[in-house]
Structure 1
Amino acid sequence: MSRNSKFLNALSGDVSATPPVWYMRQAGRYLPEYRALRAKAGSFLDLCFDSDLASEVTLQPIRRFDLDAAILFADILLIPHALGRNLRFAEGEGPLLDPVTHETDISGFRETDILSDLSAVFETVTKTRASLPEDKAVIGFAGAPWTVATYMLAGRSMKDPAALRFQYYEHPAFITELIDILTTHTIAYLKAQIDAGADAIQLFDTWAAGLPWPVLDKLSIRPLEKIASALKASRPETPIILFPKGVGEKSIEYAMIGHADGLGIDYGMDPSWARANLSDHVTVQGGLDPLLVVNGGKAMFDAAETLLKLFHDVPYVFNLGHGFVPQTPPENVAALTEFIRGKGR
């Protein structure tokens, strides 16, 4: 594990003069060096499964912006890919998979050895950790079971949350079993990332907002609690960050998961509410609208300063409320990072 890391210290409860900073989708299409490697790899999946290239992509934003943490370059749908669901990426359509629609589609999923098919991911973690100084952390990640399940059920990015809710109400046992299988595989996948050198873990529940209570509790919160508990039982030193996008004030339910160290807030959440209700339980991370970084300038700096002032006296990790979009100018990212570093508490 990385030592003397401002990022890891913040997740342990430390308050520093300036917060640690990293960004969701900090490696990606907005960087010209990424686009060059992407062209060299041939396809997105080829890039994910070439550990030398994937490690280089992971390191690119650290070299360019001197951020406090590198997040593994991979994809949240690699687990269903390892389960044989034929993941592919179509131009203008995003990810596509062979959908699961019935119990027979998932029979045998429990017994599938996904780790051997994902060995390149763990090699990427190891190579990245070896390439960074000790004060830079490596973040491993996975999609939360519900979010991954939405892609598997729809065969693509979810277009109609209501359709999946209907599917759950009609076939609760089938979807509950799928969630449980994904939970088990996610635990194994993240343990392997930690063993390969990941210093922290983030779980992305991008589609949690589409679920009403108590379905949210059953399909999103409880599986995340099970994953966090299993990881802490065997790898107790590794901090865990949850990012349940769009759940609003239900974020408190995620913050109360006993083994969560950090909680990402999206750009739609009132950061004052987050400061008042979440910071006593977890280290808050994020909140800045990534579209502000596209235009940059005063609006971006003012929004960043608001976050810095709100969280000045509690542990906080500066980040976005969602990932960078492809049209983000790298010079605006550099200016934002310099601004954060220059604002002492």
Structure 2
Amino acid sequence: MQETPVLLQALQGKVTNRVPFWLMRQAGRYLPEYRALRQQAGSFLNLCFTPELAAEVTLQPLRRFDMDAAIIFSDILVVPLALGQKLDFVEGEGPRLGPLDTGSLRYDSSRITPVYDALSLVRRQLPPDKALIGFAGAPWTVACYMIQGYGDGAFESVVAAAKNNPAEFGMLVGMLTEATIEHLSAQIRAGADAVQIFDSWAGILPETEFSTWVIAPTRRIVAELNKRHPATPIIGFPRQAGYLYARYAAETGVQGLGADPSVDLSQLAAGVSPGICLQGNLDPGLLLKGGEELTAAAENILEAMRHRPFIFNLGHGVIKETPPEHVAALSAVIRSFRQ
């Protein structure tokens, strides 16, 4: 009988002898082979929506480094695209979304079929000991982009809209919640072993709004996915949630909890159920820097998480200037550690 990939064992709440790892943005601009394919594709969206290219980009980091999972190469903003909002990526500036007309939004998964085709291609090529991760943005974070039309960590207009027009804002979040369920479910059917919900802007909300716009929609997504796909674990990543991380884990029902670099993992571990698999939380700046500081920080994280379910990751995405040799060095540190 085939052994369960070590990353999935950790997400099942098991302490694994070998610590599994993958990195957010592990497929990306720091790899020369990615840059070559990106040029070939002509645009970021072409790269995402050409299944053969997206599959190749997804697999590139696993050919170089001994990671335990591939994460599908896609973007959290494919959901607004599937809902009918115009989306473009401007070179050097990032995403630009068209004006939002909530009343005209209708979810149509056929607009983003290439994402699922890419997942199926990766599934067929992935070694059996490696896991495949699908993902989506959380409703709050995706709503931030849809309303503002571009990425800006302040999102004051969105916070104001949520506070001043909760009924209207709730309609959008409700729509996004159901769309996210469908998108993640389709990824699981296409071959994803686990899924991650990225709530990149969770940390900008005060506690009451955090409950309403981060915890409640995520709880609904997790409950419905658990019903449809009971064997598929879900990782939540409410970035910069601070003291609300533990509450998020307890109230959403996620099996895995990603943490940003500001979090003391030992303290977080003490505040969550022992069966929750923590994930994180190396500072990407240290991976960029490399050397003894990187080694020491990685070893500290591994030691702090000894004897509990854990997936090593960064606390945010790989920085594009990171030398690939630093990722190889980090991999060696993780692989030399034993529980």
User: Shorter-normalised TM-score: what interval?
Assistant: over 0.9
Pair 1:323 & 2:317 matched? yes
Cα distance in structure 1, aligned partners of 2:244 and 2:253: 17
Q: Map residues 49-88 of structure 1 onto 2, 5 A cutoff.
A: 49-88=49-88
Pair 1:134 & 2:134 matched? no
Deviation larger for 302-311 or 153-162? 153-162
1:74 CA drift (Å)? 0.1
Alignment counterpart, residue 104 of structure 2, candidates 103, 108, 122: 108
Cα distance in structure 1, aligned partners of 2:280 and 2:225: 23
Amino acid at match of 1:106: T
Cα distance in structure 2, aligned partners of 1:294 and 1:255: 30
Q: Per the alignment, in what secondary structure is the counterpart of residue 286 of structure 1?
A: strand
The answer to whether the Cα contact below 8 Å between 2:286 and 2:294 also exists between their aligned partners in 1 is yes
The answer to whether the Cα contact below 8 Å between 2:19 and 2:337 also exists between their aligned partners in 1 is no
The answer to whether the Cα contact below 8 Å between 1:275 and 1:310 also exists between their aligned partners in 2 is no
How high is the sequence identity, in percent, across the aligned residues?
Answer: 47
Q: Per the alignment, in what secondary structure is the counterpart of residue 139 of structure 1?
A: strand
Pick closer, same or farther for the CA change 1:16–1:226 going to 2, 3 Å.
same
1:255 CA drift (Å)? 1.0
1:13 CA drift (Å)? 1.4
CA deviation map 1:283-322 (0-9, x unaligned): 0001100110111111111111111111111010000000
> Mind listing any 5+ residue stretches in structure 1 that lack a counterpart?
none
Pair 1:220 & 2:214 matched? yes
Cα distance in structure 2, aligned partners of 1:95 and 1:49: 15
1:136 CA drift (Å)? 0.4
Amino acid at match of 2:290: G
Amino acid at match of 1:108: S
1:113 CA drift (Å)? 4.0
Amino acid at match of 1:83: L
The answer to whether the Cα contact below 8 Å between 1:232 and 1:259 also exists between their aligned partners in 2 is no
**TM-score computed with the length of structure 2 as normaliser:** 0.97
Q: Per the alignment, in what secondary structure is the counterpart of residue 313 of structure 2?
A: coil
Cα distance in structure 2, aligned partners of 1:96 and 1:161: 14
Pair 1:19 & 2:13 matched? no
2:92 aligned partner: 92
Alignment counterpart, residue 275 of structure 1, candidates 262, 269, 273: 269
Pair 1:204 & 2:198 matched? yes
Q: Per the alignment, in what secondary structure is the counterpart of residue 227 of structure 1?
A: helix
Q: Map residues 145-224 of structure 1 onto 2, 5 A cutoff.
A: 145-224=139-218
Pick closer, same or farther for the CA change 1:113–1:247 going to 2, 3 Å.
closer
Cα distance in structure 1, aligned partners of 2:87 and 2:277: 34
Q: Per the alignment, in what secondary structure is the counterpart of residue 176 of structure 2?
A: helix
Cα distance in structure 2, aligned partners of 1:114 and 1:257: 30
Q: Per the alignment, in what secondary structure is the counterpart of residue 15 of structure 2?
A: coil
Cα distance in structure 1, aligned partners of 2:202 and 2:128: 34
Cα distance in structure 2, aligned partners of 1:35 and 1:339: 27
Amino acid at match of 2:181: I
The answer to whether the Cα contact below 8 Å between 1:87 and 1:96 also exists between their aligned partners in 2 is yes
How many residue pairs end up in the alignment? 338
1:125 aligned partner: 119
Q: Per the alignment, in what secondary structure is the counterpart of residue 183 of structure 1?
A: helix
Runs of 4+ in 1 over 3 A off after TM superposition: none
Cα distance in structure 1, aligned partners of 2:282 and 2:99: 34
1:249 aligned partner: 243
Cα distance in structure 2, aligned partners of 1:77 and 1:190: 13
Cα distance in structure 1, aligned partners of 2:281 and 2:153: 24
Amino acid at match of 1:141: F
Cα distance in structure 2, aligned partners of 1:113 and 1:161: 24
1:6 CA drift (Å)? 0.3
1:159 CA drift (Å)? 4.4
Cα distance in structure 2, aligned partners of 1:247 and 1:331: 31
> Mind listing any 5+ residue stretches in structure 2 that lack a counterpart?
none
Cα distance in structure 2, aligned partners of 1:113 and 1:298: 49
Amino acid at match of 2:318: F
Cα distance in structure 2, aligned partners of 1:93 and 1:298: 34
CA deviation map 1:111-159 (0-9, x unaligned): x242111110000111101101111000000000000000001000134
The answer to whether the Cα contact below 8 Å between 1:278 and 1:284 also exists between their aligned partners in 2 is no
The answer to whether the Cα contact below 8 Å between 1:41 and 1:47 also exists between their aligned partners in 2 is yes
Cα distance in structure 2, aligned partners of 1:160 and 1:186: 23
2:42 aligned partner: 42
Amino acid at match of 2:98: D
Cα distance in structure 1, aligned partners of 2:128 and 2:42: 33
Q: Per the alignment, in what secondary structure is the counterpart of residue 150 of structure 1?
A: helix
Pair 1:307 & 2:301 matched? yes
Q: Per the alignment, in what secondary structure is the counterpart of residue 140 of structure 1?
A: strand
The answer to whether the Cα contact below 8 Å between 1:241 and 1:263 also exists between their aligned partners in 2 is yes
Q: Per the alignment, in what secondary structure is the counterpart of residue 33 of structure 2?
A: helix
1:144 aligned partner: 138
Q: Per the alignment, in what secondary structure is the counterpart of residue 278 of structure 2?
A: strand
The answer to whether the Cα contact below 8 Å between 1:286 and 1:321 also exists between their aligned partners in 2 is yes
Pick closer, same or farther for the CA change 1:10–1:281 going to 2, 3 Å.
closer
